[in-house]
Amino acid sequence: MNMLLNFPSNVQYFSFVNYNRSQPGNDVESYYSEHHVRWAAFKSLPIDLSQLWVNMSGSGNNNLKYGIRWKWYETPVMCSVLKNSHLFFALNFHLFEFAPQQNATFLTQIEYVYNLKIFPKQLKNRLYLSGFADQNLEGNGSFKSKWVHEHQIGFKLYKSWYAVAEFRVNQYLPFGYKGWGFGIEYLANFL
């Protein structure tokens, strides 16, 4: 489940929650959620201040990250190329991370986010490819990373209904961390 809210004063809230179970028919066994707050504090710069709160099942494993989001789609050198390509792209640098029972860490994650409209004029904005890639840096001077990424292709069927296919990789999971999902998505606009 995903949620995006745009508030006055250039503040944006985005969150999602994933529920997990190991066997079909079982109740939910665990969850993972992220809550992003972004503030476009600098009107003349394509930069947002960002905060990310990660909340997951279990105790002592939630964390808080602070950083900046660079909106390439608003960067003067790149915005016309991206606009003509029908591509939205942003980078989020999580500069500081605070977690229980750990010292604060620096530059722990780089998040890449994109949305590409495919043949928008010919298909009347009905087909898209979107996704993200989280590059989780291991730190301590190492350039090793663990990745979580998800890519979704969607086709608008009728009004707010979409047929979607999604591919996900999660290198934190010990079992077959690659998978596909197929389904129907409903986009609800509340504001």
Query: Which domains can be identified in the chain, with CATH numbers?
Result: 2-17+32-186 (2.40.160.40)
Task: Please give the Cα distance from 165 to 155 (Å, whole number).
Answer: 9
Distance CA(44)–CA(69), nearest Å, equals 14
Q: How far apart are CA 162 and CA 159, in angstroms?
A: 8
Cβ pair 19, 27 in contact under 8 A: no
Q: Note the pLDDT tens digit of each residue in 43-52.
A: 889 999 999 9
> For residues 82 and 156, what is the distance between their CA atoms, to the nearest angstrom?
22
Task: List, in sequence order, the alpha helices (H) in 6-158.
Answer: 76-85, 120-123
**Per-residue pLDDT tens digits for 79-135:** 889 999 999 999 999 988 888 777 778 878 999 999 999 999 999 999 999 999 999
pLDDT band for position 41 (cuts 50, 70, 90): very high
- Distances in whole angstroms, Cα of residue 184 to Cα of each of 1, 24, 32, 125, 157: 13, 19, 22, 17, 9
Alpha-helix residue ranges (DSSP H) falling in the chain: 76-85, 120-123
Say if pTM beats, i.e. exceeds, 0.75: yes
Q: Which residue has the higher pLDDT, 59 or 54?
A: 54
DSSP code for 74: G
Q: How far apart are CA 34 and CA 14, in angstroms?
A: 8
Residue 40 DSSP label: -
Residue 164 is encoded by which pair of tokens?
């979607």
Ranges assigned E (strand) in the chain: 2-7, 11-20, 30-39, 47-56, 63-71, 87-98, 105-117, 127-139, 142-158, 161-170, 178-186
Listed residue (170, 112, 180, 175) closest to 146, CA to CA: 170
